[in-house]
Structure 1
């Protein structure tokens, strides 16, 4: 593994438009890939895990991966340790650490959440410019291609389109918005969501960097249909769907491995995520209150932390389920998988998400998932391994979630069938499978790597 640090001053499911499989003559070619992974950490979930998942899986396929990233907490140290553990595979991963610049001072003069959004956009834009200059000065323009995976944002675009090699952009999200009809569950935070919709989804998607990325990229991948539709409105009509998340094969429970028997423990529903308004953990607490009218000993285990925790604890007490809702806080990923093995169903209630790492991890442990029927989780829901609950009337949504949970918890045969389907779905979305799909895309564009016509 080679690490370079910049001085602070200085079988997968694509849509029907996916390219055809490459012939065997190209299959053995080993590529040099510039992987743009702004966040990249093998020990974390969500976007950092996605960045690392691409780096390791492509290196395992024999490719040399030039990772452009930035230091975030201990991400670089975690990546270096993992690279060392990988041996010869790790030698094909080259970390290029590029610090992000500070946000301009004027962003601090803006009111409330607008200041945070503007600062994030300006820092990321500045980092991309630094990454491009770095890549040019270090000879990365001689790579076979550029694959931009993080940030996985349509609006953020990719400055690395200027590097020279053909660009694969995504999978990206950013087209999804929280439904206005269900704003009651967001409370005061809905104002921030409305601001995000106006600024991030509608305004920033009209920036030149976004338009030109969509125009010039050899391939654009979207992680949900909302984002694909947004890309089409911006004139990119051949966007492909690909789940942004992946799972390591070693984390998928073997079909022959029995789930822990309930043996007297109460039926358990698991919820995992940040306790933030758009994740809508309130729905989970209200659903468990309804569920207990049918299954009196049912309980809810919440993993994660955030600003809503005191409010949720008070809500549980007010609904009379204080003893049935357990808040365990933020746990290491290993303990999250243990919690999956000890649960009977997984509940996903987010009102806005590109996709969901947590649900894929739950399916990897054979856990049935109940989720809202929208955004990326609906586009990539495990057939037979999940129950999709329509948004419908917000007033009775907690009750409908409870009915779906009850059907899983009270019917063992249904639970076993969903378990098998969940495991089968997870196997289709391993990082190995995603890397193989990416290779097919790479081979399809490399013979004709000319820029897209104007």
Structure 2
């Protein structure tokens, strides 16, 4: 039985995004007969321990690493988050080295955060080391910056800090040089990784996945000509998610067509602005904003909608897109970052970014196109379902347990560099 160490700064049960990724890696690997040790943050202990007590994960041991209280308090801002993360990684690596003296890990795998620049200190164990999947090469297109409003300055700061971390953070540049294998979540990040890694083994792999509960046993049979075509937007109301862009584009859809937009999400800095957007673009009578709902309740909205809209201006590999596809929904999105890797023209429509006006008009035209062409819409939904089947966590874990882990542990030379 393999004994592995996971570095999962984010790891929580029954969550999406990074927290869900860490939990899926830990639990599914343990259920595959891999003796799994996961290092995560002390604050997650209360949520994780009851899950471990169920006995469902007999091969999983979780180790918790805390940081000083003052650093926890600094977590709320961008610089504080980065300092918190790097300090935690440094401390986690010290704990990992002590654990290795008794556990003698076969392999170390860094899974979250999935950011190249933030890096990992797990290379210090001098064991076979996998880093990723990770992104970090994404940037907000300057022509769309007005949709972030005052928060665009934060994006500029993020880019500057990312540039600095590439040069001063040993967790980044040593991981890039010393990791036996690096997994990259999108082409933008691959270009960044190549700068530091050269031709050492790398591979493209989305950093998100979906649980089996989000994938129906077969494609959902949708009505070709519903009385109302229901569009859906799901996500946290963060500036980079650009909900305003979705609403602005929707305002250019012919109001005489029976098309409605449902917005699911109520947490984030932009929540207070949603009523203003609906009034500003004169779409309040065609939009339903349901606010924040539970992770399980989101599934109901996926099943009841016909087309998914995703207009984030910076995203590594958005889980919402895969979740929508798992429910046989075509996706309308931007030809940008992770979503551009997922939407290929057969399972949805991706709009290029040349100018703000062009993006708005093309998004509106894409919505009307799927309304007027039900056969195309249904076929795109079926293709989306086929894509989602390959992104189920069980399938992703197979890649590690059947190919990557054995290859590294056996010191087999890996091939197929991107």
TM-score under structure 1 length normalisation: 0.84
C-alpha distance in 2 between matches for 1:416 and 1:449 = 44
Pick from 43, 49, 54 the counterpart of residue 80 of structure 1: 49
Is the Cα contact below 8 Å between 2:253 and 2:368 reproduced in 1? yes
CA contact (8 A) 1:35 1:149 kept: yes
Describe how 1:203-222 pairs up with structure 2 within 5 A.
203-207=164-168, 208-222=170-184
> Could you tell me which residue of structure 2 aligns to residue 27 of structure 1?
none
Q: Secondary structure at the match of 1:245?
A: coil
Among candidates 124, 136, 139, match of residue 97 of structure 2: 136
Q: What CA deviation, in whole Å up to 9, does each residue of 1:103-125 have, x standing for no partner? A: 569x97xxxx9x92322122112
User: Which residue does 1:239 correspond to in 2?
Assistant: 202
- The partner residue of 1:51 within 22, 43, 47 is 22
CA distance in 2, matches of 1:392, 1:307: 27
**In 1, distance between residues paired with 2:35 and 2:411?**
21
Number of equivalenced pairs: 408
Are 1:103 and 1:123, in contact at CA under 8 Å, matched by a contact in 2?
A: no
For residues 384 and 83 of structure 1, do their structure 2 counterparts lie closer, same or farther at Cα, with a shift above 3 Å needed? Answer: farther
C-alpha displacement at 1:84, in angstroms? Answer: 4.3
In structure 2, distance between residues paired with 1:294 and 1:432: 44
Cα distance in 2, alignment partners of residues 104 and 66 from structure 1: 25
Aligned to 2:139: 177
Give 1:57 shift: 2.1
Structure-1 residue corresponding to 2:216:
253
The answer to whether the 8 A contact 1:41-1:76 is kept is no
The corresponding residue for 1:95 is 62
Q: Give how far 1:347 is off.
A: 0.4
2:416 corresponding residue in structure 1: none
Q: Pick one of 265, 270, 291 that aligns with 1:308.
A: 270
Equivalent residue number for residue 367 of structure 2 = 405
Alpha-carbon separation, structure 2, partners of 1:52 and 1:399 = 40
Q: Cα gap change, 1:259/1:446 in structure 2, threshold over 3 Å: closer, same or farther?
A: same
1:1-40 to 2 correspondences below 5 Å:
30-40=1-11
Structure 1: gaps (5+ residues): 1-29
- Matches for 1:272-311 after TM superposition, within 5 Å: 272-293=234-255, 295=257, 297-305=258-266, 306-311=268-273
Q: How many angstroms apart in 2 are the aligned matches of 1:236 and 1:443?
A: 24
Q: Distance in 2 between matches of 1:209 and 1:272?
A: 33
Distance 2:333 2:249 in 1: 12
Q: 1:425–1:69: structure 2 CA closer, same or farther, 3 Å change rule?
A: same
Paired residue secondary structure (1:360): helix
Distance in 2 (CA, whole Å) between partners of 1:420 and 1:290 is 27
Alpha-carbon separation, structure 2, partners of 1:84 and 1:405: 48
Task: Tell me: CA distance 1:324–1:41, structure 2 relative to 1, closer, same or farther (3 Å).
Answer: same
1:323 equivalent in alignment to 2:292: no
| Preserved CA contact (<8 Å) 2:265 2:290 | yes
2-side partners of 1:263 and 1:76: how far apart? Answer: 47
Distance change (3 Å), C-alpha of 1:194 and 1:294: farther
RMSD over equivalenced CA pairs, Å? 2.3
* Counterpart secondary structure, 2:289: strand
CA shift, 1:98, in A, is 1.4
Q: Whole-Å Cα distance in 2 between the matches of residues 199 and 129 of structure 1?
A: 19
Displacement of 1:182 = 1.6
Q: CA deviation at 1:340?
A: 0.5
Residue 120 of structure 1: aligned partner: 81
CA contact (8 A) 1:303 1:327 kept: yes
Distance 1:375 1:209 in 2: 24
CA distance in 1: counterparts of 2:54 and 2:225, whole angstroms: 37
CA distance in 1, matches of 2:356, 2:224: 35
Distance 2:71 2:250 in 1: 46
Given that 1:304 and 1:328 are in contact with CA atoms closer than 8 Å, whether structure 2 keeps it comes out as: yes
